[in-house]
């Protein structure tokens, strides 16, 4: 279904599912009635000349329209393929973002080879090329497309490449490569634009398999644990009588389910949350209430499937395969003998998506469910987590191993860009990869709240150059957006590590950092003194590199930052006293001591109007996890943030929940 790219062949790597090309009236070929142009990025053998790449692709590239969901397959109906024509191919050292070289946006040397090539994400001895492609809707096969666009705001298309030759090694190769949902034809303007941000999906195959794995320990009704079976299981594992006695006592306590729903109804399967979201999104798009989706990291819980210990990161070995199959509603290949239960019946997603990776997407292996209370995020009890059996031995230490090659299938089949920018009408969005786990902040790691690496100097240059490139001449105060996985502000109590230890051993209890939200401060007599920069530690679970620089960038351009990572709804407004450049470089502590910066924490999207927030920007907005929630904490599940833009005005930017949507 997702074949590797043959080493002797060129292949188009963008546009693709996670970075589609929007074809609107601005993309029309001059002088044509209905021909649209877009740039394609191509990877091919290093020895191949651009004209040879063009010859291999000529006549082998089509766009396949995607119409309504077919009831029989619950997938989008594929229409008649439409030929796509390429202008002469050119070689390039790096990817092209539209007509701009990514190298120039990063301010790299013009001859500096792409990160993708230097680290062989597409194989050895590869080169990059680009070309302008044309999709002409005046062709006879496109009649149905024109008819569809009379009744609908957009039409998605797969970009399909055929005509692959054999590598000459005798191996069988797929004869086509499909970049799913790679093109979006849009006739409607961007006056009204409805976007949803989802984050922290934590997709993994094992979560579909958990209930089947536990089935042997459930009672005759298939819901509560059968204590006798559990005790027999642990007697085989533990030989000492004291251990067996503790297990028996704990098992009977676990059997008291008066405060819990049965496991079959309580288990929070992150994959199902994505399936439920797709159902909601398709319905919203059908009502013209949704135009596109941002997926902002921690797409996976970890990379390699549970029964794979070592891999060259072929997509079939990874949970990227599971993620794609859920989005496209294709069958998932489970472990031998596993028959998953309570899987949500869903559809292929019918809305364009833009993706970014998060720190979990760099993690090679899974956490054991029993580690650090991880089981609670899936609605499980400790005993249920102990009973679940992974096919290979896992450990907390092993789960912290990160590898940049975990993103190999992501680059190949979803989105080859770490950083990019989107312009839709006068609105633009800068998308930055905040990297994998950072091991620079030991305090964050010890508190099980790891931060992310953050932004390199080249990424800061990219963001600055993207603003110059995309900002409309008549900006008129329309706040742009910066989107990443990890936040730049995330509060914890000062001395939080020691306070958490004291709380854990029962010596002293401390209130949560939420006591410093503006509404709570007013209740405790602080009045309008809502600046909390000196009250809290903002170094836990944030980015490590260039945090002060990105804060100043957000302030200068009055930007909204959309992020995730914390699994919580947290919203901050900040401002500098005077030009922030005068404090450069400076840490947050330096700024606090100098009285140079204010931070206010409140539920701004609930207590303020969206237009008021636009005027008061910048903001840092954390969106809670779509995929997981703790058994003992939040009642709602399946969070996402809805952003509505009307003309130059921000109309809504609130968090919503699947648990309130009626799609449970």
Give the tens place of pLDDT for each residue, 346-362. Answer: 999 999 999 999 999 99
DSSP letter for 538, please.
-
What structural domains and CATH numbers belong to the chain?
Answer: 11-188 (no CATH), 196-206+268-660 (3.60.21), 207-266 (no CATH)
* Enclosing H/E stretch for 315: none
Residue 311 tokens, joined: 């891999």
Taking all residues of the chain, what is their mean pLDDT, rounded to a whole number?
A: 86
Q: Is the pTM of this model over 0.95?
A: no
**DSSP annotation string for 20-79:** PEEE-GGGBPTT-SSEEEEEEEEEEETT--HHHHHHHHTT-EEEEEEEEEPTTTSSEEE-
Residues 381 and 254 sit within 8 Å (Cβ to Cβ): yes
pLDDT of residue 245: 61
pLDDT of residue 487: 95
**Distance from C-alpha of 200 to C-alpha of 357, rounded to nearest angstrom:** 10
The CB density around residue 594, as the number of other CB atoms within 10 Å, is 12
DSSP letter for 374, please.
G
pLDDT of residue 472: 66
**Distance from C-alpha of 444 to C-alpha of 452, rounded to nearest angstrom:** 10
pLDDT of residue 171: 42
Residues 622 and 570 sit within 8 Å (Cβ to Cβ): yes
**Distance from C-alpha of 277 to C-alpha of 641, rounded to nearest angstrom:** 12
Q: Report the chain (664 residues): mean pLDDT per 10 consecutive residues.
A: 86 98 92 92 96 95 97 97 96 94 86 89 96 94 93 96 67 76 93 96 96 81 66 66 60 53 85 98 97 97 87 92 98 92 96 97 92 86 83 83 95 97 92 85 57 91 92 62 95 65 57 81 69 83 88 93 94 89 74 85 93 93 91 76 92 92 52
Let me know the angle formed at the C-alpha of 307 by 302 and 313, rounded to the nearest 5 degrees: 55
Closest to 205 (Cα-Cα) out of 272, 280, 298, 294:
272
pLDDT of residue 422: 95
Cα separation values, 113 from 92, 93, 105, 121, Å: 9, 5, 14, 13
The CB density around residue 464, as the number of other CB atoms within 10 Å, is 17
Which residue, chain included where needed, has tokens 């968090």? Answer: 655
pLDDT of residue 157: 98
Q: What is the 3-state secondary structure (H, E, C) of 597-656?
A: EEEEECCHHHHCCHHHHHHHCCEEEECCCCCCCCCCCCCCCCEEEEEEEECCEEEEEEEE
Give one word for 278, left, alpha or beta, with left for phi > 0 and alpha for psi -120 to 50: alpha
Residue 451 tokens, joined: 């931060």
Residue 86: φ, ψ to 5°: -110, 140
Residues 321 and 308 sit within 8 Å (Cβ to Cβ): no
For residues 320, 323, 324, 327, the Cα torsion angle rounded to the nearest 10 degrees is: -170
């Amino acid at each position: 279904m997702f074949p590797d790219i043959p080493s002797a062949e060129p292949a188009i790597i963008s546009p693709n599912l996670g970075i589609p090309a929007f074809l609107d009236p601005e993309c029309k070929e001059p002088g044509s009635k209905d021909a649209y142009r877009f740039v394609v990025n191509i990877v091919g053998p290093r020895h191949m000349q651009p004209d040879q790449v063009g010859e291999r692709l000529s006549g082998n590239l089509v766009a396949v329209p995607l119409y309504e969901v077919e009831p029989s397959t619950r997938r989008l109906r594929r229409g008649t393929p439409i030929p796509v024509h390429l202008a002469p191919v050119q070689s390039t050292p790096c990817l092209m973002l539209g007509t701009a070289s990514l190298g120039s946006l990063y301010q790299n040397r013009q001859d500096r080879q792409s990160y993708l090539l230097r680290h062989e994400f597409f194989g050895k001895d590869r080169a990059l090329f680009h070309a302008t492609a044309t999709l002409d809707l005046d062709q006879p096969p496109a009649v149905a497309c024109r008819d569809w666009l009379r009744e609908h705001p957009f039409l998605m298309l797969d970009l399909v490449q055929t005509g692959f030759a054999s590598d000459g090694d005798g191996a069988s190769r797929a004869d086509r490569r499909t970049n799913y949902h790679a093109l979006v034809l849009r006739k409607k303007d961007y006056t009204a634009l409805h976007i949803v941000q989802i984050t922290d999906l934590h997709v993994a195959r094992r979560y579909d398999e958990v209930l089947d794995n536990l089935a042997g320990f459930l009672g005759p009704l298939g819901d509560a644990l059968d204590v006798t079976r559990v005790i027999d299981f642990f007697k085989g594992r533990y030989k000492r009588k004291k251990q067996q006695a503790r297990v028996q006592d704990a098992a009977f306590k676990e059997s008291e389910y008066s405060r819990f729903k049965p496991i079959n109804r309580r288990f929070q399967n992150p994959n199902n949350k994505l399936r439920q979201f797709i159902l909601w999104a398709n319905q919203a798009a059908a009502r013209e209430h949704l135009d596109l989706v941002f997926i902002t990291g921690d797409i996976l819980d970890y990379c390699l499937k549970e029964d794979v210990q070592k891999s060259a990161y072929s997509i079939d070995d990874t949970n990227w395969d599971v993620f794609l199959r859920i989005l496209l509603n294709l069958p998932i290949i489970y472990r031998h003998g596993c028959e998953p239960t309570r899987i949500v019946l869903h559809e292929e997603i019918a809305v364009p998506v833009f993706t970014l990776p998060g720190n979990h997407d760099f993690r090679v292996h899974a956490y054991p469910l029993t580690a650090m209370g991880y089981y609670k995020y899936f609605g499980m009890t400790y005993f249920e987590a102990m009973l679940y059996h992974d096919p290979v031995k896992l450990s907390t230490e092993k789960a912290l191993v990160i590898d940049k090659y975990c993103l190999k299938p992501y680059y190949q089949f979803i989105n080859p860009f770490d950083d990019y920018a989107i312009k839709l009408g006068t609105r633009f969005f800068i998308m930055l990869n905040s990297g994998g786990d950072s091991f620079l902040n030991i305090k964050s790691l010890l508190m099980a709240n790891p931060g992310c690496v953050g932004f390199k100097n080249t990424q800061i240059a990219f963001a600055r150059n993207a603003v110059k490139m995309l900002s409309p001449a008549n900006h008129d105060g329309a706040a742009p957006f910066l989107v990443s996985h990890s936040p730049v502000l995330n509060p914890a109590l000062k001395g939080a590590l020691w306070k958490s230890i004291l709380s854990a051993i029962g010596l002293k209890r401390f209130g949560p950092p939420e006591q410093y939200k503006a509404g709570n401060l007013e209740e405790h007599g602080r009045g309008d003194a809502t600046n909390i920069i000196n009250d809290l530690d903002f170094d836990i679970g944030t980015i490590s590199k260039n945090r002060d620089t990105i804060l100043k960038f957000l302030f200068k351009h009055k930007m909204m930052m959309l992020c995730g990572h914390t699994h919580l709804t947290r919203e901050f407004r900040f401002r500098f006293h005077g030009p922030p450049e005068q404090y450069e470089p400076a840490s947050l502590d330096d700024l606090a001591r100098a009285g140079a910066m204010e931070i206010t924490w409140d539920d701004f999207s609930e207590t303020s109007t969206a237009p008021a927030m636009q005027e008061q920007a910048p903001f840092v907005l954390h969106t809670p996890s779509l995929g997981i929630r703790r058994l003992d904490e939040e009642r709602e599940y399946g969070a996402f943030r809805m952003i509505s833009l009307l003309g130059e005005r921000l109309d809504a930017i609130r968090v919503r929940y699947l648990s309130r949507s009626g799609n449970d």
